[in-house]
Amino acid sequence: MERIHLLNKLWEYQHQFGYISKKAISEISILLNVSAIEIESVISFYHFFQKNPTGKHTIYLSNNIISELKGFAEVKTAFEKETGCTFNELGNEEFSLFETSCIGLNDQSPAALINFQPFADLTPKKVSLIIQKIRNGENVINFASKVKSKIHFIPTNNKAVIFKPYEIGTSIKEGLKYTPQQIIDKISKSKLLGCGGAFFEVGYKWQSCKNNEADAKYIICNADEGEPGTFKDRALLQHLPGLVIEGMILAGYATGAREGIFYLRAEYQFLLKELEQQIKQFHDKNLLGKNIQEIEGFNFEIRIQLGGGSYVCGAASALIESLEGRRGEPPVRTWSATKYGFKNKPTVVNNVETLAYASRIIELGEDFFLTIGTPKSPGTKLISISGDVAKPGIYEIEYGTTIGDLLSIEMSQATSPYLVQVSGPSGECLNTTEFNRKICKEDILCGGSFMVFNRNRDILQILRNFMEFFKEESCGVCTPCRAGNFILTEKVKKIQRGLCTQEDLDEIQQWGNIIKLSSRCGLGKASPNALIMATEKFKDYFNVKIAPNNGNQNVEFDMENAIYEFDSLIKDTQL
Protein backbone atom coordinates (compact mmCIF):
# COMPACT_ATOMS: atom_id res chain seq x y z
CA MET A 1 0.00 0.00 0.00
CA GLU A 2 1.19 3.49 -0.77
CA ARG A 3 1.29 6.05 2.01
CA ILE A 4 -1.03 8.37 0.06
CA HIS A 5 -3.85 5.91 0.65
CA LEU A 6 -3.45 5.98 4.42
CA LEU A 7 -6.38 8.29 5.12
CA ASN A 8 -8.68 6.11 3.03
CA LYS A 9 -7.52 3.03 4.86
CA LEU A 10 -8.19 4.71 8.18
CA TRP A 11 -11.67 5.69 7.03
CA GLU A 12 -12.35 2.08 6.07
CA TYR A 13 -11.64 0.95 9.61
CA GLN A 14 -13.39 3.93 11.15
CA HIS A 15 -16.57 3.33 9.16
CA GLN A 16 -16.57 -0.40 9.62
CA PHE A 17 -15.74 -0.67 13.30
CA GLY A 18 -16.40 2.80 14.66
CA TYR A 19 -12.79 3.12 15.73
CA ILE A 20 -9.27 2.14 14.79
CA SER A 21 -8.00 -0.48 17.16
CA LYS A 22 -4.46 -1.21 18.31
CA LYS A 23 -4.61 -4.31 16.16
CA ALA A 24 -5.65 -2.30 13.12
CA ILE A 25 -2.85 0.17 13.77
CA SER A 26 -0.38 -2.64 13.88
CA GLU A 27 -1.76 -4.16 10.65
CA ILE A 28 -1.55 -0.85 8.83
CA SER A 29 1.93 -0.15 10.10
CA ILE A 30 3.08 -3.47 8.69
CA LEU A 31 1.44 -2.68 5.35
CA LEU A 32 3.26 0.64 5.20
CA ASN A 33 6.42 -0.66 6.79
CA VAL A 34 6.56 2.08 9.38
CA SER A 35 6.46 2.02 13.17
CA ALA A 36 3.05 1.80 14.79
CA ILE A 37 3.48 5.13 16.53
CA GLU A 38 3.57 6.83 13.16
CA ILE A 39 0.11 5.54 12.34
CA GLU A 40 -1.14 6.52 15.75
CA SER A 41 0.34 9.92 15.19
CA VAL A 42 -1.77 10.40 12.06
CA ILE A 43 -4.92 9.02 13.66
CA SER A 44 -4.69 11.27 16.68
CA PHE A 45 -4.18 14.34 14.53
CA TYR A 46 -7.55 14.09 12.81
CA HIS A 47 -10.66 14.81 14.78
CA PHE A 48 -12.86 12.09 13.29
CA PHE A 49 -10.57 9.10 13.74
CA GLN A 50 -11.29 7.43 17.03
CA LYS A 51 -8.86 5.28 18.95
CA ASN A 52 -11.52 3.89 21.25
CA PRO A 53 -14.71 2.04 20.35
CA THR A 54 -17.66 4.34 19.70
CA GLY A 55 -21.38 3.64 19.76
CA LYS A 56 -23.32 2.62 16.65
CA HIS A 57 -24.22 6.27 16.18
CA THR A 58 -21.59 8.96 16.48
CA ILE A 59 -23.01 12.42 16.95
CA TYR A 60 -20.82 15.42 16.23
CA LEU A 61 -22.46 18.64 17.38
CA SER A 62 -21.01 21.85 16.00
CA ASN A 63 -19.88 24.25 18.69
CA ASN A 64 -19.27 27.25 16.49
CA ILE A 65 -20.26 30.67 17.75
CA ILE A 66 -23.51 31.03 15.81
CA SER A 67 -24.61 27.68 17.07
CA GLU A 68 -23.65 28.77 20.59
CA LEU A 69 -25.88 31.81 20.23
CA LYS A 70 -28.78 29.85 18.79
CA GLY A 71 -29.35 27.17 21.35
CA PHE A 72 -26.25 25.00 21.39
CA ALA A 73 -26.40 24.51 25.17
CA GLU A 74 -30.02 23.34 25.16
CA VAL A 75 -29.45 21.04 22.22
CA LYS A 76 -26.38 19.61 23.86
CA THR A 77 -28.26 18.89 27.06
CA ALA A 78 -31.07 17.33 25.06
CA PHE A 79 -28.64 14.97 23.33
CA GLU A 80 -27.15 13.98 26.66
CA LYS A 81 -30.52 13.44 28.24
CA GLU A 82 -31.94 11.44 25.35
CA THR A 83 -28.91 9.22 24.82
CA GLY A 84 -27.75 8.92 28.43
CA CYS A 85 -24.21 9.78 27.31
CA THR A 86 -21.89 12.67 28.05
CA PHE A 87 -20.22 14.76 25.37
CA ASN A 88 -16.58 14.10 24.54
CA GLU A 89 -16.55 10.80 26.42
CA LEU A 90 -16.68 7.27 25.09
CA GLY A 91 -20.45 6.88 25.14
CA ASN A 92 -22.33 3.58 25.18
CA GLU A 93 -23.11 0.77 22.71
CA GLU A 94 -25.60 2.90 20.84
CA PHE A 95 -24.26 6.47 20.97
CA SER A 96 -21.10 8.52 21.26
CA LEU A 97 -21.31 12.29 21.51
CA PHE A 98 -18.63 14.75 20.48
CA GLU A 99 -18.34 18.45 19.96
CA THR A 100 -16.74 19.64 16.77
CA SER A 101 -15.72 22.89 15.07
CA CYS A 102 -17.94 24.54 12.48
CA ILE A 103 -19.45 21.94 10.14
CA GLY A 104 -20.42 24.41 7.43
CA LEU A 105 -24.10 24.66 8.32
CA ASN A 106 -24.12 28.07 9.95
CA ASP A 107 -27.26 29.13 8.12
CA GLN A 108 -29.08 26.24 9.78
CA SER A 109 -27.56 26.01 13.23
CA PRO A 110 -27.45 24.42 15.68
CA ALA A 111 -26.52 21.49 13.52
CA ALA A 112 -24.93 18.11 14.01
CA LEU A 113 -23.62 15.20 12.01
CA ILE A 114 -25.05 11.85 12.97
CA ASN A 115 -23.06 9.09 11.34
CA PHE A 116 -21.91 11.92 9.09
CA GLN A 117 -25.43 12.73 7.92
CA PRO A 118 -26.47 16.34 8.52
CA PHE A 119 -29.17 17.32 10.99
CA ALA A 120 -29.91 21.01 10.98
CA ASP A 121 -31.96 23.63 12.84
CA LEU A 122 -31.89 21.49 15.94
CA THR A 123 -34.08 22.10 18.96
CA PRO A 124 -34.42 19.93 22.07
CA LYS A 125 -37.71 18.64 20.70
CA LYS A 126 -36.18 17.75 17.37
CA VAL A 127 -33.33 15.99 19.14
CA SER A 128 -35.76 13.90 21.08
CA LEU A 129 -37.53 12.88 17.87
CA ILE A 130 -34.30 12.01 16.13
CA ILE A 131 -33.06 9.84 18.97
CA GLN A 132 -36.42 8.13 19.15
CA LYS A 133 -36.29 7.30 15.45
CA ILE A 134 -32.79 5.94 15.85
CA ARG A 135 -33.90 3.81 18.76
CA ASN A 136 -36.73 2.52 16.59
CA GLY A 137 -34.15 1.24 14.18
CA GLU A 138 -34.55 3.79 11.42
CA ASN A 139 -31.53 4.56 9.30
CA VAL A 140 -30.36 8.16 9.67
CA ILE A 141 -29.76 8.45 5.94
CA ASN A 142 -33.50 8.29 5.43
CA PHE A 143 -34.42 11.20 7.65
CA ALA A 144 -31.36 13.44 7.59
CA SER A 145 -32.02 17.14 6.95
CA LYS A 146 -32.00 18.52 3.46
CA VAL A 147 -29.35 21.11 3.96
CA LYS A 148 -29.10 22.73 0.55
CA SER A 149 -28.54 26.40 1.38
CA LYS A 150 -30.90 29.07 0.12
CA ILE A 151 -29.50 31.46 -2.43
CA HIS A 152 -30.93 34.75 -1.31
CA PHE A 153 -29.33 37.14 -3.68
CA ILE A 154 -28.04 37.24 -7.23
CA PRO A 155 -26.88 40.49 -8.84
CA THR A 156 -29.42 41.98 -11.20
CA ASN A 157 -28.79 43.55 -14.64
CA ASN A 158 -27.33 40.34 -15.99
CA LYS A 159 -24.39 40.64 -13.63
CA ALA A 160 -24.63 37.17 -12.10
CA VAL A 161 -21.63 34.99 -12.84
CA ILE A 162 -22.10 31.82 -10.81
CA PHE A 163 -25.80 31.43 -10.32
CA LYS A 164 -27.16 31.34 -13.82
CA PRO A 165 -28.29 28.43 -15.99
CA TYR A 166 -25.73 25.68 -16.31
CA GLU A 167 -25.36 22.93 -18.83
CA ILE A 168 -22.78 20.21 -18.37
CA GLY A 169 -19.73 20.56 -20.63
CA THR A 170 -20.36 24.07 -21.90
CA SER A 171 -17.20 25.64 -20.51
CA ILE A 172 -15.03 22.70 -21.43
CA LYS A 173 -16.26 22.69 -25.00
CA GLU A 174 -15.73 26.44 -25.17
CA GLY A 175 -12.30 26.15 -23.54
CA LEU A 176 -11.05 23.43 -25.86
CA LYS A 177 -11.31 25.90 -28.72
CA TYR A 178 -8.25 27.60 -27.27
CA THR A 179 -4.69 26.51 -26.61
CA PRO A 180 -3.66 25.93 -22.99
CA GLN A 181 -1.69 29.17 -23.03
CA GLN A 182 -4.69 31.07 -24.33
CA ILE A 183 -6.79 29.71 -21.45
CA ILE A 184 -4.24 30.96 -18.95
CA ASP A 185 -4.10 34.32 -20.70
CA LYS A 186 -7.86 34.63 -20.45
CA ILE A 187 -7.82 33.79 -16.73
CA SER A 188 -4.92 36.17 -16.14
CA LYS A 189 -6.65 38.93 -18.00
CA SER A 190 -9.80 38.44 -15.94
CA LYS A 191 -7.71 39.14 -12.79
CA LEU A 192 -9.56 36.33 -11.04
CA LEU A 193 -8.55 36.14 -7.38
CA GLY A 194 -8.48 32.91 -5.38
CA CYS A 195 -11.57 32.54 -3.22
CA GLY A 196 -10.10 30.36 -0.47
CA GLY A 197 -8.97 33.26 1.64
CA ALA A 198 -5.53 34.23 0.33
CA PHE A 199 -6.82 36.00 -2.83
CA PHE A 200 -3.84 34.97 -4.87
CA GLU A 201 -4.03 35.64 -8.61
CA VAL A 202 -5.23 32.48 -10.29
CA GLY A 203 -3.68 33.15 -13.69
CA TYR A 204 -0.26 33.56 -12.13
CA LYS A 205 -0.57 30.29 -10.25
CA TRP A 206 -1.66 28.35 -13.34
CA GLN A 207 1.08 29.90 -15.43
CA SER A 208 3.77 28.99 -12.99
CA CYS A 209 2.54 25.39 -12.83
CA LYS A 210 2.45 25.25 -16.60
CA ASN A 211 5.99 26.58 -16.85
CA ASN A 212 7.42 23.97 -14.51
CA GLU A 213 8.18 20.95 -16.63
CA ALA A 214 7.53 17.58 -15.00
CA ASP A 215 6.32 14.09 -15.84
CA ALA A 216 3.25 14.55 -13.69
CA LYS A 217 1.25 17.51 -12.41
CA TYR A 218 -1.80 17.74 -10.21
CA ILE A 219 -4.86 19.91 -9.80
CA ILE A 220 -6.27 19.95 -6.32
CA CYS A 221 -9.66 21.30 -5.52
CA ASN A 222 -9.61 22.58 -1.97
CA ALA A 223 -12.98 21.64 -0.55
CA ASP A 224 -11.84 21.71 3.04
CA GLU A 225 -13.94 24.78 3.83
CA GLY A 226 -13.04 24.99 7.49
CA GLU A 227 -13.17 28.68 8.32
CA PRO A 228 -16.01 29.00 10.83
CA GLY A 229 -18.99 30.65 9.23
CA THR A 230 -18.37 29.83 5.61
CA PHE A 231 -20.55 27.37 3.73
CA LYS A 232 -20.44 28.73 0.19
CA ASP A 233 -18.25 25.88 -1.05
CA ARG A 234 -20.76 23.35 0.23
CA ALA A 235 -23.57 25.29 -1.39
CA LEU A 236 -21.71 25.33 -4.69
CA LEU A 237 -21.05 21.61 -4.52
CA GLN A 238 -24.75 21.08 -3.90
CA HIS A 239 -26.07 23.51 -6.47
CA LEU A 240 -23.48 23.43 -9.26
CA PRO A 241 -20.93 20.66 -8.72
CA GLY A 242 -20.42 20.38 -12.48
CA LEU A 243 -19.09 23.91 -12.68
CA VAL A 244 -16.35 23.04 -10.19
CA ILE A 245 -15.41 19.86 -11.99
CA GLU A 246 -15.17 21.74 -15.28
CA GLY A 247 -12.87 24.23 -13.61
CA MET A 248 -10.58 21.39 -12.58
CA ILE A 249 -10.56 19.93 -16.07
CA LEU A 250 -9.79 23.31 -17.60
CA ALA A 251 -6.99 23.85 -15.09
CA GLY A 252 -5.64 20.45 -16.07
CA TYR A 253 -5.85 21.30 -19.75
CA ALA A 254 -4.15 24.65 -19.20
CA THR A 255 -1.30 23.49 -16.98
CA GLY A 256 -0.72 20.03 -18.41
CA ALA A 257 -1.92 18.15 -15.33
CA ARG A 258 -3.57 14.80 -15.88
CA GLU A 259 -5.00 14.12 -12.46
CA GLY A 260 -7.32 16.10 -10.27
CA ILE A 261 -8.04 15.49 -6.63
CA PHE A 262 -10.99 16.77 -4.66
CA TYR A 263 -9.92 17.22 -1.07
CA LEU A 264 -13.32 17.04 0.56
CA ARG A 265 -13.57 17.85 4.24
CA ALA A 266 -14.84 14.93 6.28
CA GLU A 267 -17.80 17.00 7.46
CA TYR A 268 -19.09 17.06 3.88
CA GLN A 269 -18.99 13.35 3.20
CA PHE A 270 -22.75 13.32 2.84
CA LEU A 271 -22.02 14.96 -0.55
CA LEU A 272 -19.74 12.14 -1.61
CA LYS A 273 -22.27 10.03 -3.47
CA GLU A 274 -23.60 12.89 -5.51
CA LEU A 275 -20.13 14.09 -6.42
CA GLU A 276 -19.14 10.63 -7.52
CA GLN A 277 -22.24 10.45 -9.71
CA GLN A 278 -21.35 13.78 -11.25
CA ILE A 279 -17.85 12.57 -12.03
CA LYS A 280 -19.36 9.48 -13.63
CA GLN A 281 -21.60 11.64 -15.78
CA PHE A 282 -18.55 13.55 -16.96
CA HIS A 283 -16.97 10.26 -17.91
CA ASP A 284 -20.08 9.15 -19.76
CA LYS A 285 -20.05 12.34 -21.75
CA ASN A 286 -16.37 12.01 -22.59
CA LEU A 287 -15.60 15.10 -20.51
CA LEU A 288 -13.32 13.06 -18.25
CA GLY A 289 -11.14 10.08 -18.98
CA LYS A 290 -9.04 9.43 -22.05
CA ASN A 291 -8.84 11.67 -25.14
CA ILE A 292 -11.43 14.08 -23.81
CA GLN A 293 -13.68 15.45 -26.59
CA GLU A 294 -11.57 13.57 -29.09
CA ILE A 295 -8.51 15.63 -28.30
CA GLU A 296 -5.71 13.17 -28.76
CA GLY A 297 -3.70 12.80 -25.57
CA PHE A 298 -5.85 15.00 -23.39
CA ASN A 299 -6.54 12.67 -20.49
CA PHE A 300 -7.85 13.75 -17.14
CA GLU A 301 -9.07 11.79 -14.14
CA ILE A 302 -10.58 13.05 -10.89
CA ARG A 303 -10.67 11.26 -7.57
CA ILE A 304 -12.04 12.36 -4.25
CA GLN A 305 -9.97 12.28 -1.10
CA LEU A 306 -11.78 12.61 2.19
CA GLY A 307 -10.10 14.64 4.94
CA GLY A 308 -10.09 13.52 8.53
CA GLY A 309 -11.30 16.58 10.41
CA SER A 310 -8.71 19.33 10.72
CA TYR A 311 -9.03 23.02 9.94
CA VAL A 312 -5.36 23.58 9.18
CA CYS A 313 -5.55 21.01 6.36
CA GLY A 314 -7.33 23.72 4.40
CA ALA A 315 -4.01 25.52 4.16
CA ALA A 316 -2.59 24.40 0.84
CA SER A 317 0.74 23.13 2.16
CA ALA A 318 -0.86 21.20 5.02
CA LEU A 319 -3.45 19.85 2.62
CA ILE A 320 -0.69 18.31 0.54
CA GLU A 321 0.83 16.75 3.65
CA SER A 322 -2.55 15.29 4.44
CA LEU A 323 -3.00 13.99 0.89
CA GLU A 324 0.29 12.21 1.28
CA GLY A 325 -0.98 10.43 4.37
CA ARG A 326 0.68 12.44 7.08
CA ARG A 327 -0.31 14.78 9.88
CA GLY A 328 -1.50 18.10 8.53
CA GLU A 329 1.47 20.08 9.73
CA PRO A 330 2.29 22.88 7.32
CA PRO A 331 5.84 22.08 6.26
CA VAL A 332 8.75 24.49 6.28
CA ARG A 333 8.31 25.93 2.83
CA THR A 334 11.20 26.47 0.51
CA TRP A 335 9.31 26.05 -2.75
CA SER A 336 5.83 26.89 -3.89
CA ALA A 337 3.47 24.02 -4.64
CA THR A 338 3.43 24.93 -8.30
CA LYS A 339 7.02 23.71 -8.39
CA TYR A 340 7.15 20.98 -5.72
CA GLY A 341 3.66 20.12 -4.57
CA PHE A 342 1.81 16.82 -4.24
CA LYS A 343 4.32 13.97 -4.58
CA ASN A 344 6.88 16.71 -5.22
CA LYS A 345 5.31 17.50 -8.59
CA PRO A 346 3.97 20.83 -9.81
CA THR A 347 0.56 21.26 -8.25
CA VAL A 348 -2.22 23.82 -8.42
CA VAL A 349 -4.35 24.10 -5.30
CA ASN A 350 -7.51 26.08 -5.89
CA ASN A 351 -10.59 26.65 -3.88
CA VAL A 352 -13.95 25.20 -4.98
CA GLU A 353 -15.38 28.62 -5.75
CA THR A 354 -12.27 29.71 -7.64
CA LEU A 355 -12.60 26.77 -10.00
CA ALA A 356 -16.27 27.52 -10.58
CA TYR A 357 -15.35 31.08 -11.56
CA ALA A 358 -12.64 29.81 -13.88
CA SER A 359 -15.25 27.76 -15.77
CA ARG A 360 -17.61 30.69 -15.99
CA ILE A 361 -14.89 33.01 -17.24
CA ILE A 362 -14.07 30.61 -20.03
CA GLU A 363 -17.75 30.13 -20.81
CA LEU A 364 -18.84 33.77 -20.62
CA GLY A 365 -15.60 35.43 -21.62
CA GLU A 366 -13.17 37.48 -19.58
CA ASP A 367 -14.44 40.71 -21.10
CA PHE A 368 -17.88 40.12 -19.67
CA PHE A 369 -16.29 39.33 -16.28
CA LEU A 370 -14.25 42.53 -16.37
CA THR A 371 -17.38 44.66 -16.75
CA ILE A 372 -18.51 43.60 -13.28
CA GLY A 373 -17.00 44.45 -9.90
CA THR A 374 -14.15 46.83 -9.14
CA PRO A 375 -10.95 47.48 -11.13
CA LYS A 376 -8.75 45.38 -8.84
CA SER A 377 -11.33 42.70 -8.12
CA PRO A 378 -13.61 42.19 -11.08
CA GLY A 379 -16.62 39.93 -11.00
CA THR A 380 -18.72 38.68 -8.15
CA LYS A 381 -18.14 36.80 -4.91
CA LEU A 382 -20.11 34.26 -2.95
CA ILE A 383 -20.74 35.24 0.65
CA SER A 384 -22.18 32.99 3.34
CA ILE A 385 -24.16 35.11 5.76
CA SER A 386 -25.20 33.86 9.17
CA GLY A 387 -25.96 35.11 12.65
CA ASP A 388 -28.42 37.79 13.60
CA VAL A 389 -30.04 38.20 10.21
CA ALA A 390 -33.50 37.28 8.99
CA LYS A 391 -32.18 35.57 5.89
CA PRO A 392 -29.07 33.51 6.51
CA GLY A 393 -27.74 31.84 3.39
CA ILE A 394 -25.76 32.40 0.21
CA TYR A 395 -25.36 35.76 -1.51
CA GLU A 396 -23.69 36.26 -4.84
CA ILE A 397 -22.62 39.88 -4.70
CA GLU A 398 -20.81 42.15 -7.08
CA TYR A 399 -17.40 43.17 -5.80
CA GLY A 400 -17.77 46.68 -4.42
CA THR A 401 -20.98 45.98 -2.49
CA THR A 402 -20.88 47.59 0.96
CA ILE A 403 -21.22 45.84 4.30
CA GLY A 404 -24.27 48.00 4.87
CA ASP A 405 -25.90 46.72 1.68
CA LEU A 406 -25.34 43.16 2.80
CA LEU A 407 -27.03 43.92 6.11
CA SER A 408 -29.89 45.86 4.56
CA ILE A 409 -33.54 45.05 4.19
CA GLU A 410 -32.94 44.15 0.53
CA MET A 411 -30.39 41.56 1.43
CA SER A 412 -29.83 39.69 4.71
CA GLN A 413 -32.09 41.86 6.89
CA ALA A 414 -29.87 42.15 9.93
CA THR A 415 -31.43 43.16 13.23
CA SER A 416 -29.46 45.94 14.99
CA PRO A 417 -26.07 44.68 13.82
CA TYR A 418 -23.24 45.62 16.14
CA LEU A 419 -20.24 43.51 15.22
CA VAL A 420 -19.65 41.94 11.83
CA GLN A 421 -16.94 39.31 11.55
CA VAL A 422 -15.71 39.22 7.97
CA SER A 423 -13.78 36.16 6.71
CA GLY A 424 -14.26 34.20 9.91
CA PRO A 425 -12.22 34.24 13.14
CA SER A 426 -9.01 34.69 11.12
CA GLY A 427 -10.48 37.69 9.39
CA GLU A 428 -11.46 41.14 10.52
CA CYS A 429 -14.10 42.38 12.86
CA LEU A 430 -15.96 45.54 12.03
CA ASN A 431 -17.92 47.95 14.19
CA THR A 432 -20.88 50.08 13.17
CA THR A 433 -18.72 52.94 11.90
CA GLU A 434 -17.34 50.67 9.20
CA PHE A 435 -20.53 49.49 7.56
CA ASN A 436 -19.85 51.75 4.61
CA ARG A 437 -16.77 49.75 3.73
CA LYS A 438 -16.83 47.90 0.44
CA ILE A 439 -16.09 44.27 -0.16
CA CYS A 440 -13.36 44.39 -2.78
CA LYS A 441 -9.60 44.32 -3.08
CA GLU A 442 -9.43 48.09 -2.77
CA ASP A 443 -11.07 47.95 0.66
CA ILE A 444 -11.86 44.77 2.56
CA LEU A 445 -11.90 41.27 1.09
CA CYS A 446 -14.14 38.52 2.32
CA GLY A 447 -13.21 34.86 2.02
CA GLY A 448 -16.82 33.81 2.37
CA SER A 449 -17.66 33.85 6.05
CA PHE A 450 -19.81 36.78 7.13
CA MET A 451 -21.16 36.54 10.65
CA VAL A 452 -23.44 39.20 12.07
CA PHE A 453 -23.85 39.82 15.79
CA ASN A 454 -26.41 42.18 17.27
CA ARG A 455 -26.19 44.52 20.23
CA ASN A 456 -27.24 41.93 22.76
CA ARG A 457 -24.40 39.57 22.01
CA ASP A 458 -21.47 39.39 24.36
CA ILE A 459 -18.24 40.18 22.55
CA LEU A 460 -16.15 38.24 25.03
CA GLN A 461 -18.21 35.13 24.43
CA ILE A 462 -17.60 35.49 20.72
CA LEU A 463 -13.87 36.02 21.19
CA ARG A 464 -13.59 33.14 23.58
CA ASN A 465 -15.26 30.86 21.06
CA PHE A 466 -12.79 32.00 18.39
CA MET A 467 -9.75 31.51 20.61
CA GLU A 468 -10.89 28.05 21.68
CA PHE A 469 -11.24 27.21 18.02
CA PHE A 470 -7.63 28.14 17.26
CA LYS A 471 -6.38 26.46 20.39
CA GLU A 472 -8.10 23.27 19.28
CA GLU A 473 -7.13 23.48 15.62
CA SER A 474 -3.50 24.56 15.92
CA CYS A 475 -1.44 21.76 14.44
CA GLY A 476 0.85 22.01 17.44
CA VAL A 477 4.15 22.14 15.64
CA CYS A 478 5.28 25.66 16.46
CA THR A 479 5.52 27.34 19.84
CA PRO A 480 3.79 30.70 19.37
CA CYS A 481 0.60 29.26 17.92
CA ARG A 482 0.45 26.15 20.08
CA ALA A 483 1.21 27.86 23.39
CA GLY A 484 0.23 31.40 22.47
CA ASN A 485 -3.37 30.64 21.58
CA PHE A 486 -3.74 28.71 24.83
CA ILE A 487 -2.36 31.68 26.73
CA LEU A 488 -4.67 34.12 24.95
CA THR A 489 -7.65 31.87 25.63
CA GLU A 490 -6.80 31.98 29.33
CA LYS A 491 -6.57 35.74 29.09
CA VAL A 492 -10.07 35.99 27.64
CA LYS A 493 -11.38 33.70 30.36
CA LYS A 494 -9.77 35.90 32.98
CA ILE A 495 -11.46 38.99 31.59
CA GLN A 496 -14.73 37.09 31.48
CA ARG A 497 -14.36 36.43 35.20
CA GLY A 498 -14.38 40.17 35.72
CA LEU A 499 -10.64 40.55 36.32
CA CYS A 500 -9.75 43.05 33.65
CA THR A 501 -7.25 45.87 33.78
CA GLN A 502 -5.95 48.18 31.08
CA GLU A 503 -2.78 46.12 31.28
CA ASP A 504 -4.69 43.02 30.20
CA LEU A 505 -5.94 44.78 27.10
CA ASP A 506 -2.46 46.07 26.30
CA GLU A 507 -1.08 42.59 26.74
CA ILE A 508 -3.64 41.19 24.31
CA GLN A 509 -2.22 43.56 21.70
CA GLN A 510 1.41 42.81 22.50
CA TRP A 511 1.07 39.06 22.87
CA GLY A 512 -1.19 38.82 19.85
CA ASN A 513 1.40 40.61 17.76
CA ILE A 514 4.14 38.27 18.94
CA ILE A 515 2.05 35.30 17.81
CA LYS A 516 1.34 36.95 14.47
CA LEU A 517 4.97 37.77 13.92
CA SER A 518 6.51 34.45 14.78
CA SER A 519 4.02 31.70 13.89
CA ARG A 520 4.95 29.34 11.14
CA CYS A 521 1.82 29.28 9.02
CA GLY A 522 -1.24 31.31 8.22
CA LEU A 523 -3.27 29.80 11.03
CA GLY A 524 -1.05 31.16 13.76
CA LYS A 525 -0.40 34.39 11.91
CA ALA A 526 -4.13 35.11 11.76
CA SER A 527 -5.31 33.59 15.01
CA PRO A 528 -5.12 36.69 17.24
CA ASN A 529 -6.69 38.99 14.62
CA ALA A 530 -10.21 39.08 15.98
CA LEU A 531 -9.04 39.56 19.56
CA ILE A 532 -6.63 42.35 18.70
CA MET A 533 -9.14 44.16 16.53
CA ALA A 534 -12.04 43.79 18.92
CA THR A 535 -10.11 45.39 21.77
CA GLU A 536 -9.29 48.29 19.45
CA LYS A 537 -12.67 48.71 17.82
CA PHE A 538 -14.99 48.11 20.75
CA LYS A 539 -13.37 50.34 23.34
CA ASP A 540 -16.75 51.28 24.86
CA TYR A 541 -17.46 47.66 25.56
CA PHE A 542 -14.07 46.95 27.08
CA ASN A 543 -13.76 50.19 29.06
CA VAL A 544 -16.74 49.13 31.12
CA LYS A 545 -14.97 45.86 31.93
CA ILE A 546 -11.87 47.51 33.31
CA ALA A 547 -11.88 47.45 37.08
CA PRO A 548 -11.33 50.88 38.64
CA ASN A 549 -7.80 51.47 39.82
CA ASN A 550 -8.01 51.50 43.59
CA GLY A 551 -4.79 53.43 44.04
CA ASN A 552 -2.89 50.79 45.95
CA GLN A 553 -0.60 48.38 44.24
CA ASN A 554 -2.69 45.28 44.57
CA VAL A 555 -3.44 43.33 41.45
CA GLU A 556 -6.99 42.17 40.74
CA PHE A 557 -7.19 38.94 42.67
CA ASP A 558 -10.23 36.74 42.94
CA MET A 559 -10.04 35.59 46.54
CA GLU A 560 -13.48 34.04 46.42
CA ASN A 561 -12.51 31.80 43.56
CA ALA A 562 -9.19 30.96 45.20
CA ILE A 563 -10.76 29.57 48.38
CA TYR A 564 -13.95 28.17 46.89
CA GLU A 565 -12.54 24.70 46.39
CA PHE A 566 -11.19 24.50 49.91
CA ASP A 567 -14.42 25.66 51.47
CA SER A 568 -16.57 23.21 49.59
CA LEU A 569 -14.20 20.37 50.26
CA ILE A 570 -14.21 21.11 53.97
CA LYS A 571 -18.00 21.09 53.99
CA ASP A 572 -18.00 17.65 52.36
CA THR A 573 -15.38 16.02 54.53
CA GLN A 574 -16.19 17.08 58.06
CA LEU A 575 -16.86 14.09 60.27
Partner 1 sequence: MENITFKLDGRICTAEKGLNLIEAAKQNGIFIPTLCHFKHLNPLGSCRVCTVNLNGRSVAGCTIQVQEGMDIEVNTIELLDTRKAILEMMFVEGNHFCPSCEKSGDCQMQNLGYETGIRFTRFPHLFVDRLVDARPERIVINQNRCIKCKRCIEEVKTADGYNVFSFTERGNSTKVSIDYKQEAKLSEIEAERAMQICPTGSILVKGKTFSKPFGDRQFDLGPEGKLFSLDKIKKHRTKNKKKRIATTSLAGCFGCHMSMLDIDLGLLDLLEVVEFNKSPLTDLKNFTEHCDIGLIEGGCCNTNNIEVLREFRKHCDILVSVGECAIWGGLPAIRNTFPLEECLREAYLESMTSEEGATIIPNHEDIPKILNKVYSNHEVVKIDYHIPGCPPNANHIWNVVKHILFEEEYSIAYPEFKYD
Ligand X SMILES: Cc1cc2nc3c(=O)[nH]c(=O)nc-3n(C[C@H](O)[C@H](O)[C@H](O)COP(=O)(O)O)c2cc1C
Residues interacting with ligand X, by CB under 6 A? Answer: 194-198, 200, 222, 224-227, 312, 314-316, 349-351, 354, 521-523
- How far apart are the C-alpha atoms of 311 and 112, rounded to whole Å? 17
Shortest CB 199 distance to ligand X, Å = 7
- Of 292 and 349, nearer to ligand X (C-beta) is 349
| CA distances from residue 103 to 185, 234, 363, 572 in whole angstroms, order as listed | 37, 10, 32, 42
Among 264, 258, 302, which Cα is nearest to 283's? 302
Give just the sign of the alpha carbon dihedral 18, 23, 26, 28: negative
- Contact string (CB under 8 A) for partner 1, positions 467-506, x = contact: ----xxxxxxxxxx-xxxxxx--x----------------
Secondary structure letter of residue 432 according to DSSP: G
Would you count residue 476 as binding ligand SF4 (CB under 6 A)? yes
Shortest CB 275 distance to partner 1, Å = 27
Q: Is 207 left (phi over 0), alpha (psi -120 to 50) or beta?
A: alpha
Binding to partner 1 (CB under 8 A): which residues in 277-336? 310, 327, 329, 332, 334
- How far apart are the C-alpha atoms of 541 and 459, rounded to whole Å? 8
- Contact string (CB under 6 A) for ligand SF4, positions 323-362, x = contact: ------xx--------------------------------
State the distance between the two ends of the chain, measured CA to CA, in whole angstroms. Answer: 64
Would you count residue 520 as binding ligand SF4 (CB under 6 A)? yes
Which residues, in sequence order, are CB contacts of 257 under 8 Å at separation 6+? 209, 216, 217, 218, 219, 251, 300, 346, 347, 348
Q: Closest-CB residue for ligand SF4? A: 524
Which segments within 292-372 are labelled E, that is strand? Answer: 301-306, 347-351
Would you count residue 521 as binding ligand SF4 (CB under 6 A)? yes
Give just the sign of the alpha carbon dihedral 417, 422, 425, 430: negative
Would you count residue 37 as binding partner 1 (CB under 8 A)? yes
| CA distances from residue 84 to 17, 97, 143 in whole angstroms, order as listed | 22, 10, 22
Secondary structure letter of residue 176 according to DSSP: T
Stretch that binds ligand SF4, among 145-153, 477-485, 504-512, 562-570 (CB under 6 A): 477-485
Q: Which does 552 bind (CB under 5 to 8 A by kind): partner 1, ligand SF4, ligand X, none?
A: partner 1
- Of 96 and 426, nearer to ligand SF4 (C-beta) is 426
- Of 219 and 320, nearer to ligand SF4 (C-beta) is 320
Instruction: Point out which residues bind partner 1 (CB under 8 A).
Output: 34-38, 40-41, 44-45, 310, 327, 329, 332, 334, 471-480, 482-487, 490, 507, 511, 514, 517-520, 552-555, 557, 559, 561-567, 569-570, 573-575
